[in-house]
Amino acid sequence: MRLKNHFAGLLAAAFSLLLPPAVMAEEPVAQPLAIDMSSRVAPVVRLLFVGDIMLADGPGRAIAAGRDPFAAFADEFADADVRIGNLECAIASSGKALDKIYTFRANPQVIEKLSGRFHALSVANNHAGDYGHEAFLETLSLLDIAGVKAFGGGRNLTEAHAPYWVERGGLRIAILGYNEFKPRAFEAGPDWPGVAWSEDSHVVRGIEAARAAGADIVIPFMHWGWEREREPSARQRQLARLMIDAGADAVVGGHPHVTQGSEIYEGKPIIYSLGNFVFDGFDYPEAQQGWLLRMAVSQEGVRNWEVIPAYMDVEGLPQRKPVAAAPQVPVPTPAQGSPAVSLAEQPAISTPPR
Ligand SMILES: [Zn+2]
């Protein structure tokens, strides 16, 4: 008996080495050949979420110099059925910087690094609107052309609140995007563009509407919480519970520029903040580490999930291993689409909200 258990353990260990971690929850089951597996095995869809992607400044210069910001995690991208991130900047040549301390606008050439990599990007954040409506609309158009679906924002209120819908293996998945980090001035309106604002009643309605429209899996991707805080706030915890009570299968978040841990509520995972993924200009080391989240979902909900750390190098590009801190080199000429106040010139600022 003991030997049998031992052997079974060895077998399981051997299988677990062969399988990608995101599907390890399911014991491998032998199936007769020449049978349509899809009719017999609940399909498992592998999702990949990454945090804040800011493609101006350091990352923008790195891309202009020919670097691929996502190269270090090409395997994780290739391994996922659906790849989702948070686009924390405008991508445009139009527009004018709003009156904010930090404003981010990336050169339209960066779009080719997103194309084919991401299925969808949330624009529900506090920087997508940094260069006003014209640049925001240009961003949406560029993403459209690149085949990347924007969600959490749109050309009007209805479009902004529409989920990103994706179907894989017969599983219908709805991802919703909401921002609750001010300024609220860039919220979409009945006939003007902007982001989806995280009003409790609207979020609950969005989740319920996705369910009613036939979603098997609903996941809100939130932009929330306080910067630098390693723990989620009472507000985040309250809203996360509300969303799960309303029918969300999991909650994923970002914005604080640091990771914030996770918890399970009613059997559903809440990953409060993925932190940064592509971002530079921070003067505290916690902001240079983020998480990639791999999540396997099926008809039954979230089957398994794990996070993989990513470490930003001096240009703000994610790497697999920590990169020794290098002194910030002053940048003589601002990059195309540079912030109104260059971060490189402002290292001593006591980190106001971004
Ligand atoms: Zn943010």
DSSP string, 46-111: EEEEEEEE--SHHHHHHHHTT--TTGGGHHHHHH-SEEEEEE-SEE-SS----SSS---EE-GGGH
On whether residue 136 sits in a domain, the answer given is yes
Predicted pLDDT at 353: 64
Residue 90, pLDDT > 60, answer yes
For range 307-316, the mean pLDDT:
97
Query: How many CB atoms lie under 10 A from the CB of residue 228?
Result: 14
Average pLDDT, the chain: 85
Predicted pLDDT at 34: 46
On whether residue 237 sits in a domain, the answer given is yes
Structure-block tokens of residue 189: 């309106």
On whether residue 307 sits in a domain, the answer given is yes
On whether residue 180 sits in a domain, the answer given is yes
Structure-block tokens of residue 1: 């008996």
On whether residue 161 sits in a domain, the answer given is yes
Predicted pLDDT at 16: 37
Rg (Cα) of the chain, in Å, rounded? 21
Q: What is the DSSP string of 128-168?
A: TTTTHHHHHHHHHHHHHHHT-EEESEESSHHHHHPPEEEEE
Predicted pLDDT at 234: 97
Whole-number Å distance, alpha carbon 87 to ligand 1 midpoint, is: 9
Q: Which residues contact 90 (CB under 8 A, 6 or more apart)?
A: 104, 105, 106, 127, 128, 129, 130, 131, 135, 136, 138, 139, 337
* CATH of residue 227: 3.60.21.10
Structure-block tokens of residue 68: 């691929």
Length of the chain, please? 354
Predicted pLDDT at 42: 73
Whole-number Å distance, alpha carbon 91 to ligand 1 midpoint, is: 16
Whole-number Å distance, alpha carbon 171 to ligand 1 midpoint, is: 30
CA–CA separation, 179 vs 187, rounded Å?
9
Predicted pLDDT at 323: 82
Predicted pLDDT at 44: 97
Whole-number Å distance, alpha carbon 306 to ligand 1 midpoint, is: 23
Percent of the chain topping pLDDT 90: 78
Predicted structure pTM score: 0.82
- Of 237, 233, 243, 258, the C-alpha closest to 176 is 243
Whole-number Å distance, alpha carbon 144 to ligand 1 midpoint, is: 22
Predicted pLDDT at 8: 41
Whole-number Å distance, alpha carbon 256 to ligand 1 midpoint, is: 7
Whole-number Å distance, alpha carbon 107 to ligand 1 midpoint, is: 19
Whole-number Å distance, alpha carbon 16 to ligand 1 midpoint, is: 37
For range 77-104, the mean pLDDT:
97
Predicted pLDDT at 349: 33
For range 200-222, the mean pLDDT:
98
Longest dimension (CA), the chain: 72
Domain that holds residue 72: 42-319
For range 65-91, the mean pLDDT:
98
Structure-block tokens of residue 83: 């790849």
CA–CA separation, 309 vs 293, rounded Å?
9
Residue 339, pLDDT > 90, answer no
Whole-number Å distance, alpha carbon 39 to ligand 1 midpoint, is: 42
List phi, psi (to 5°) of 40: -115, -30
Percent of the chain topping pLDDT 70: 80
Predicted pLDDT at 33: 41
Whole-number Å distance, alpha carbon 129 to ligand 1 midpoint, is: 11
Whole-number Å distance, alpha carbon 69 to ligand 1 midpoint, is: 19
Of the pLDDT bands very low, low, confident and very high (cuts 50, 70, 90), residue 38 is: very low
Of the pLDDT bands very low, low, confident and very high (cuts 50, 70, 90), residue 354 is: low
Whole-number Å distance, alpha carbon 329 to ligand 1 midpoint, is: 24
On whether residue 327 sits in a domain, the answer given is no
CA quadruple 343, 344, 345, 346: dihedral sign? positive
Predicted pLDDT at 207: 98
On whether residue 347 sits in a domain, the answer given is no
pLDDT tens across 177-187, in order? 999 998 899 99
Whole-number Å distance, alpha carbon 150 to ligand 1 midpoint, is: 16
CA–CA separation, 330 vs 132, rounded Å?
28
Whole-number Å distance, alpha carbon 181 to ligand 1 midpoint, is: 7
On whether residue 243 sits in a domain, the answer given is yes
How many domains, the chain? 1
For range 178-199, the mean pLDDT:
96
Predicted pLDDT at 41: 65
Whole-number Å distance, alpha carbon 249 to ligand 1 midpoint, is: 23
Whole-number Å distance, alpha carbon 168 to ligand 1 midpoint, is: 30
Whole-number Å distance, alpha carbon 196 to ligand 1 midpoint, is: 14
Of the pLDDT bands very low, low, confident and very high (cuts 50, 70, 90), residue 69 is: very high
